[in-house]
Amino acid sequence: MDIVKGNMGWIEVIVGPMFSGKSEELIRRLKRAEIARQRVQIFKPVIDQRYAQKDIVSHSGLGLPSEVVNNAAEVLEKVQPRTEVVGIDEGQFLGEGLVDTCVRMADAGKRVIVTGLDTDYLGRPFEPMPRLLAVAEEIVKLLAICVQCGNPAVNTQRLVASEDLIVVGAAGMYEPRCRRCFEPHLAHDKVEANKTSSAAPVLTRQK
C-alpha cells in the first residue's frame, strides 16, 4: 500500500470479552459506512473459521463478506488505495505487525476499525491489542453478561482443557464471566486432571 498524505485517518478499536458484541458493533459501523457510499474493505484472520470461511459473523448471526488474511502484513498488501474504511475482525490473531499496519493505514488517510480480545483466557493483556489501544483515537470497551451470576462480564472463561494461548472456539468452549466468577486457571486444572486420570493404574479383577 502506498502512503498518500492528505485526508486525515484514524483508528477505532472495539475490545471486550467473547460474547460482548464486538463483531456486531464492527458490522454496524461498516454498514453505516457503506450506506454513506464510502469504499469499504473488510479483513478477518484465516484461523477464525467458527461461523463462515470468509464472512465476518457475529454470535447473533449478523455477517458481512470479508477477505481472509494470515497476518497483518497481508492486510497492507490487499488494501486498495481508494479504500476509505478498513474493518479488521479478531485483530489479536494477526500478529505483532497489527499496530504498524493500522498506523500506516491511518497515516494514509483511512478510517481503521479493529475488534479484538484485550485479555486472554488467563486474564492477561492479549498482545498486540493493548499496544493498539495506546495509539487509537477511539476506544470502545464492551461488556458481556456473566453466565454464572448475571453481572457485567469483562473476562473470557475457557472451559476446555488446554494451556495453548490460542484455541479458537465459541459457545461450549468459552463463556463470559465477571471478576468474581472468573476462574483463570480452570483450563490448566482440567489439563492436570486429565494427566492424573490417564496416569492412574488400571485395576483388573482376577478370576
Residues marked as catalytic: 90
How far apart (Å, rounded) are the C-alpha atoms in residues 86 and 66?
Answer: 11
CA-CA distances (angstroms) from residue 98 to 89, 119, 127, 137, 190?
12, 16, 10, 16, 32
How far apart (Å, rounded) are the C-alpha atoms in residues 113 and 97?
Answer: 16
Cis bond upstream, residue 128 (ω within 30): yes
Cβ(123)–Cβ(184) below 8 Å? yes
Helix (H) or strand (E) holding 102: helix 98-107
